[in-house]
Structure 1
Amino acid sequence: MINGRIIAFFFFSIWVNAQEEISVSPAMEVLKDFDKIRDFTLSESGDEAYFTIQSQTEEISVIAQSRKGKNGWEAPTLAPFSGTYKDLEPFLAPNGLRLYYVSNRPMNETKMETKDFDIWYVERNDRTSDWSQPINLGAPVNSENNEFYPALAENGNLYFTCDCPTAIGRDDIFFSKFENGKYSEPIPLSSNVNSEGFEYNAYISKDESYLLFGGYNREDGHGSGDIYISYKNSSGEWSKAQPLPLNINSKYMDYCPFVDETNNIIYFTSRRSTNPNVPIESIESLSKFLDIYENGNSRLYKAEINIKMFIE
């Protein structure tokens, strides 16, 4: 009988060799006028999206939303719970009734001083209802350290980034099990995922069979920051993470993955550029370059890829 790991390696090799066939395109044309866009989450129905819009210095960081109508994605609007503090990294729960995000908002609205970054959420009764006031997820997930980029499996298990003292490296991916209506004490994932460097921006599949995350300046990477994948085996162990192929990854910073599992589309953020590295001959040529989508600014992209076909 052929070993499942050999089959997985075989398919992964095909995937890497076929990287030229992976076509990457702008995720949402209605966002092209914003210089710094990152993070993306999509409803199960595919017609409600949330993302982060920031100023270049990140002094302003808000969560915006867009609806998909008959003529495509509508112009973004500010999420009703965002705009006063630094808010980022939204994640819409699979049932669409709770949206998790990160904020430095104070615990008490009467005190205007901000705190460290925590995971917060808003909730609603149905998709036509208004979002609630923000609610802090609380301990043991939130702490005196920074917590970032929440992602939930369908069973409620939580994966997030933390610069906690228990981390293997600088920033690590942590896991907290949701059981009996409560979250367990978070633990870092193994060294098959985490390293002594930076791991961040995890996306967990709904069935927890695979994990996507960002890794910074790894030896096996394609650029400064790359998107990696790890699979969970039948024993609950994570495989040694591998970078996604080129076209999704690039020599530039690629991060913040999200997967539309229904339509096999990966969304991600990238600072890629088509700069030909030739002198700018005029203001007109400079303006033309700055007007293109791949101009080195943080932008949202998408690509069709069936990640599950590579699971052993």
Structure 2
Amino acid sequence: MKKLLIVFLITCNCFSQQASLFSPELFKNLPNVRDFSMSKNKSEIYFTIESYCKTYSFIACIKRTGKKWGKPKAVSFSGEFKDLEPFLSPDGLKLFFASNRNATSTDVKKDIDIWYVQRNSLNDGWSSPINVGDIINTNKNEFYPSVTNKGDLFFTAEYPNSIGKEDIYVSRFINNTYTKPVPLSTAINSDKYEFNAYVSPDEKIIVFTSYGREDDLGRGDLYISRKDSEGNWLPAKNLGDKINSKKLDYCPFIDINANVLYFTSNRTNVPNRLKSKQNFKEIIHTINSLPNGLSRIYSTFLNKK
């Protein structure tokens, strides 16, 4: 665990190394693992555990006592419906997530909506899930929430006014009420796919996934944008091959204080031919060795500039 604590404390001004698996021992023997949200005091990690065919998922949490992380546990409000993409508000008192649960019945909804739970203090348990409301949730998919210090909600949606198939939207939180969502500018959204955006608490940095751009390295890459002096998003840039792979790279989260980027990838090092003939036990070991195509959490230092 010493290496994990060092990651929390060191900052770097460049991507000086390849992205690497984040604490694989924490997620050992789990199927697909995706999404990542960590409390400001680094005592809680929330993430999604997804079935092998990705038909079902639930939200889990790992808590740290002193220098030791506990075992993953399902959160109190998850375990029946398909829940995914947890995001802790900056103060840690709300946890937003996406779900196919229904606000008006016990039936499963055909699309995905955004919900949240809340607590009075960091030591309290979570409330029952609350739907963010029909100003945001529609009969189309809304997913991957990210919340700023002001309470503004950034998310992905398939609205009729989308530039591409999926775009990134923001709903401002004014007088404790969400406003009508608006799409981000073409510095972020394009006629391709844009989804899964993390926005920093001060709303100065955004990292998201786009698929289908000319500089896309594979099935979807992570891009970054920062705001200029007038508060406008600068044209997003691909984070490069030290982070992105030929597979899907998605679900970003930044530990702002430690300057560390976390994200999900289903990359693999399993070849289509082994270097030499292996027996049954050796082949299974090779197939099960990460990265092997299962979704896992990766991390790397984030460029401040």
Is the pair's TM-score, using the shorter chain for normalization, greater than 0.5?
A: yes
CA distance in structure 2 between the partners assigned to 1:28 and 1:127 by the alignment: 26
Q: Deviation per CA, 1:38-97, whole angstroms, max 9, x where unpaired?
A: 001000001101000010122221000000123532110001000110000000001011
Q: Deviation per CA, 1:103-122, whole angstroms, max 9, x where unpaired?
A: 1101135x334342110000
Say which SS state the counterpart of residue 224 (structure 1) adopts: coil
Task: Determine if the alignment matches structure 1 residue 48 to structure 2 residue 44.
Answer: yes
How many residues are matched?
A: 291
Note the C-alpha offset of 1:20.
5.5
Q: Deviation per CA, 1:124-157, whole angstroms, max 9, x where unpaired?
A: 1111111000000002111121100000111111
CA distance in structure 1 between the partners assigned to 2:110 and 2:160 by the alignment: 18
Say which SS state the counterpart of residue 285 (structure 1) adopts: helix
Q: Deviation per CA, 1:157-177, whole angstroms, max 9, x where unpaired?
A: 111000110100000001111
Structure 2 partner of 1:31:
27
Q: Deviation per CA, 1:203-232, whole angstroms, max 9, x where unpaired?
A: 001111110000113211222211000111
Structure 2 partner of 1:288:
285
CA distance in structure 1 between the partners assigned to 2:24 and 2:132 by the alignment: 30
Say which SS state the counterpart of residue 259 (structure 1) adopts: strand
> In the alignment, residue 33 of structure 1 is paired with which amino acid?
N
CA contact (8 A) 2:17 2:300 kept: no
CA contact (8 A) 2:19 2:298 kept: no
> In the alignment, residue 282 of structure 1 is paired with which amino acid?
N
Structure 2 partner of 1:123:
118
CA contact (8 A) 1:39 1:52 kept: yes
Note the C-alpha offset of 1:239.
1.0
CA contact (8 A) 2:221 2:245 kept: yes
Range with greater deviation from structure 2 (59-68 or 26-35): 26-35
Distance change >3 Å, CA 205–CA 27, structure 1 → 2: farther
Say which SS state the counterpart of residue 37 (structure 2) adopts: strand
CA contact (8 A) 1:193 1:240 kept: yes
Structure 2 partner of 1:96:
92
> In the alignment, residue 228 of structure 2 is paired with which amino acid?
N
Structure 2 partner of 1:299:
296
Structure 2 partner of 1:193:
188
> In the alignment, residue 90 of structure 1 is paired with which amino acid?
P
CA distance in structure 2 between the partners assigned to 1:67 and 1:92 by the alignment: 14
CA distance in structure 2 between the partners assigned to 1:209 and 1:35 by the alignment: 34
Structure 1 partner of 2:69:
73
> In the alignment, residue 57 of structure 1 is paired with which amino acid?
C
| Identity across the alignment (%) | 42
CA distance in structure 2 between the partners assigned to 1:22 and 1:281 by the alignment: 29
Structure 2 partner of 1:3:
none
CA distance in structure 1 between the partners assigned to 2:256 and 2:205 by the alignment: 12
Task: Determine if the alignment matches structure 1 residue 247 to structure 2 residue 210.
Answer: no
Note the C-alpha offset of 1:238.
1.2
Q: CA RMSD in A?
A: 1.7
Structure 2 partner of 1:139:
134
Alignment of 1:101-250 (within 5 A): 101-109=97-105, 111-250=106-245
CA contact (8 A) 2:207 2:222 kept: yes
CA distance in structure 1 between the partners assigned to 2:21 and 2:143 by the alignment: 27
Note the C-alpha offset of 1:293.
2.0
Structure 2 partner of 1:4:
none
Unmatched segments (≥5 aa) in structure 2:
1-12
CA contact (8 A) 2:270 2:287 kept: no
TM-score, reference length from structure 1: 0.88
Structure 1 partner of 2:264:
269
CA contact (8 A) 1:19 1:245 kept: no
